[in-house]
A and B are shown apart, each in its own frame.
Chain A
Amino acid sequence: MAEMMEERSQQLKAEWEEWFRGMGFDKVWKRLDVINPFPGSIPTNAEIFMVMPVWRHVFRELHMDPEVWRRLKYENFVEWSYRVDQAVETTNRVAKNPPSPDEMYCIENLCYLSHPPAYLCKPDVGKSTCQMLYGKYATVEYVHVDDFSREVYWINGYHNEDGFPVHRWTVGVASDISQYFDEEDERAFLTSTESWTGASNREELDDRLNRRHLRTGVKIRDVPKVYWDPYDWGMGVRDVVNDMRTEVFSKWLHATLYMSCVSAYISTIAQNALMSSEFFLYVYYGLNTSALGVKYNLFSYVPIPPILRTLLNLPQETFVKRMSELFLGGYNAIHKYACNEKKVPHLFKIRKFIFDHGQFYPHVKGIVPPMAMARAIPPSMEVINLDRYLETPPSKEFLELLEADGGLNPETGELPPVDEVGRFSFLIDPSIEPIRPSDFPPLDCNQGQIWPFDITREKVEIMVEEGYDGSGKNVEHYSKLADKKMGKKVD
């Protein structure tokens, strides 16, 4: 079985390389050296930069080089981990002192739970959805892979009881990441307590990634060199992590072990999404990669939670709206960072760049509202059909744009792929005006903000005029007030 997987992985890798060259992407990528920390090398997922315009600019802004790349991997790791630690505190606080109705959606009561900690949710909802997603008992370990070296560089996760993360388990962290550990990190990852298990020193954390699979002999850190995509990485790593769990946490054997695998590039994009609706869009693409015309997984769960399979069969717009309903009661959060700017300066630069320029810069200047985000039509490597993305037909202006810039065939609903038309941009409904950053109250990246899902420029302006500060306090009241002023029917 393992030999079959290895063989198949080599074949898939060769097919991808041929496809990459056939599309002309090798020649295009060569000219994007300014965003490549290792000029001349082609990373996993390189084609994603052809279809995620703002990220090309973000990486140019970060002045990518090997040092920035390593630092970025570190910053993503600590931010990821501390988000869940904070979520545990928030959930405990909210459980002891439930907020009043007008404070229900206050940003300080929202947190990132471990499924994964990349979007904000209400703690009570988060707990039940976590159970719905993973079951009552689950150990969820995230496996992050360097796009250039194809090495696993950290495995960290949480054990959940009754849908709630009760214990953090840091399986391993490569030494090029742990070299940046500060005192806080040393406490968090180089000690063990009732609430978490780390290692006794950096060497031990690194060395755990050298643990080999009993049957195949492949080291954890080398799994992505041997197996093709994030799903296969999960398959390759899971047995070893399961053995380690049996040794260290025999009390958790009743729980399903989930491995969730992703590369550094993809996790950076997902973890630093400006808004929750944007993150849900990325989840849709990450697990449903044919929506981008990509032939492999960008993100994986091994095993995949059954409910995700069901949700992913929905059109993109429905998926984004349902996820927003499920986790945030139909609101849309501007995400906050758990770490401060001194600790994660590159992540702050990313947040500020995307907040100032918008999620689809430079094709759309300004922040795309959630309603338009849910209906965004991505550039795709293969022919796509509008039905897969939209719940309802496009507006007249949107249809014109889809025909003119996307080459839409109005009869069939089909849009041609990138290589046929050279479209590298998302198509966004032009009848919904982007919101300017200055329309919002000033953004504190450690606080975030929360807004109704149906915000428009006008609605934001009215809510701010009426005194709403983005904090979530009385958000429903301000939302209804704005709807009334805009002549909408209010219950």
Chain B
Amino acid sequence: MPLVITKEWFETIKEKWNSDSSNVESLKDSHETILWIVEELPLSKISGELEKSILGSGMVDPAYFQAMKKENRADLIIKIEGGKITEFRPAKQGEEHTGMIRGKYSSFEKVVKGEDLIWLIMDGEIHFRGRLPEFAKRLDGYTRLTITFVSNTELP
């Protein structure tokens, strides 16, 4: 599995998602930009060499990367068009979004089925900001997205 935040990681998740038609189908009505904030992600453990390679890819602003590393959190942008991920990358500061999901990495790891995600949200372990009716309609899609995200992530 690719290491979190690397270029390979972003590309793998995007590819895995888009290549599975049932994933795409689950969010087929979706045209949105999701700010996905992952907390307690051990970014401070990233080695100097790897950091150089991540910054070298040009995907993330160096100052923003340092801030994420300091706080052990990643702010990610996922753009979805008709169920396909068209962009998956680090967020820019203050970037606009249509919905937001925030939680600890360990909370996302608990998501196995749709029930888990809704319980975690209602219990405040994972925070969701956005229109509830749309979110509820796409609950299966968001669950799949979370599972795809966790199952293709290696932590430093």
Contacts of A418 in B (CB 8 A): 132
Contacts of B128 in A (CB 8 A): 422
Q: Which residue of B lies closest to A25 (CB)?
A: B136
Stretch at the interface among B62-70, B71-79, B85-93, B118-126: B118-126
A63 at the interface (CB under 8 A from B): no
A28 at the interface (CB under 8 A from B): yes
Report how far A24 CA is from B131 CA in the complex, Å.
9
B133 at the interface (CB under 8 A from A): yes
B49 at the interface (CB under 8 A from A): no
Q: Which residue of A lies closest to B136 (CB)?
A: A24
B129 at the interface (CB under 8 A from A): yes
Q: Is the CB of B129 within 8 A of A50?
A: no
Contacts of B134 in A (CB 8 A): 24
Decide yes or no: A420 and B136 within 8 Å by CB, A31-B118, A363-B124 being known contacts: no
Give the Cβ gap from A6 to chain B, nearest Cβ, in Å.
Answer: 30
Contact with A along B116-156 (1 / 0, CB 8 A): 00110111110111111111110100000000000000000
A-B contact count (CB 8 A): 58
Q: Is the CB of B118 within 8 A of A53?
A: no
Q: Is the CB of B123 within 8 A of A24?
A: no
Report how far A25 CA is from B139 CA in the complex, Å.
12
B115 at the interface (CB under 8 A from A): yes
Q: Is the CB of A424 within 8 A of B121?
A: yes
Report how far A53 CA is from B118 CA in the complex, Å.
12
Contact with B along A20-63 (1 / 0, CB 8 A): 00111111100111100000000000000010010010000000
B82 at the interface (CB under 8 A from A): no
Contacts of B125 in A (CB 8 A): 362
Contacts of B135 in A (CB 8 A): 24, 422
Q: Is the CB of B122 within 8 A of A22?
A: no
Q: Is the CB of A23 within 8 A of B124?
A: no
Give the Cβ gap from B27 to chain A, nearest Cβ, in Å.
Answer: 14
Decide yes or no: A362 and B123 within 8 Å by CB, A27-B137, A31-B118, A32-B118 being known contacts: yes
Report how far A488 CA is from B2 CA in the complex, Å.
60
Q: Which residue of A lies closest to B117 (CB)?
A: A31
Q: Which residue of A lies closest to B125 (CB)?
A: A362
Contacts of B122 in A (CB 8 A): 28, 50, 53, 56, 424
Q: Is the CB of B124 within 8 A of A419?
A: no
A263 at the interface (CB under 8 A from B): no
Q: Is the CB of A422 within 8 A of B130?
A: yes
B114 at the interface (CB under 8 A from A): yes
Q: Is the CB of A363 within 8 A of B123?
A: yes
Q: Which residue of B lies closest to A362 (CB)?
A: B123
Report how far A28 CA is from B133 CA in the complex, Å.
9
Partner of A424, one of B124, B131, B133: B124
Report how far A32 CA is from B83 CA in the complex, Å.
26
Decide yes or no: A22 and B118 within 8 Å by CB, A27-B139, A31-B139, A363-B124 being known contacts: no
Partner of B131, one of A32, A53, A420: A420
Report how far A420 CA is from B128 CA in the complex, Å.
10
Report how far A25 CA is from B128 CA in the complex, Å.
15
Contacts of B131 in A (CB 8 A): 419-420
A425 at the interface (CB under 8 A from B): yes
Give the Cβ gap from B146 to chain A, nearest Cβ, in Å.
Answer: 14
Partner of B137, one of A24, A33, A53, A422: A24
Report how far A32 CA is from B124 CA in the complex, Å.
16
Q: Which residue of B lies closest to A379 (CB)?
A: B122
Give the Cβ gap from A355 to chain B, nearest Cβ, in Å.
Answer: 19
A486 at the interface (CB under 8 A from B): no
Report how far A23 CA is from B115 CA in the complex, Å.
18
A132 at the interface (CB under 8 A from B): no
Q: Is the CB of A422 within 8 A of B129?
A: yes
Report how far A430 CA is from B57 CA in the complex, Å.
43
Q: Which residue of B lies closest to A361 (CB)?
A: B123
Give the Cβ gap from A361 to chain B, nearest Cβ, in Å.
Answer: 9
Report how far A91 CA is from B107 CA in the complex, Å.
52
Give the Cβ gap from A428 to chain B, nearest Cβ, in Å.
Answer: 12
Report how far A250 CA is from B119 CA in the complex, Å.
54
Report how far A375 CA is from B45 CA in the complex, Å.
43
Contacts of A125 in B (CB 8 A): none
Contact with B along A395-429 (1 / 0, CB 8 A): 00000000000000000000000111110110000
Report how far A88 CA is from B136 CA in the complex, Å.
50
**With A23-B133, A56-B122, A362-B123 given, can you name 19 additional A-B contacts, CB distance below 8 Å?**
A24-B133, A24-B137, A25-B136, A26-B136, A27-B139, A28-B132, A28-B139, A31-B115, A31-B118, A31-B139, A32-B115, A32-B118, A34-B115, A50-B122, A56-B119, A362-B124, A419-B131, A420-B131, A422-B127
A–B Cβ pairs within 8 angstroms, 9 of them: A22-B133, A24-B135, A27-B136, A28-B118, A31-B118, A33-B115, A420-B131, A420-B132, A422-B130
Interface residues in chain B, defined as those with a beta carbon under 8 Å from any beta carbon in chain A = 114-115, 118-119, 121-125, 127-137, 139
The 9 tightest CB contacts between A and B, nearest first, are A24-B136, A24-B133, A27-B136, A419-B132, A422-B128, A424-B122, A31-B115, A362-B123, A31-B118
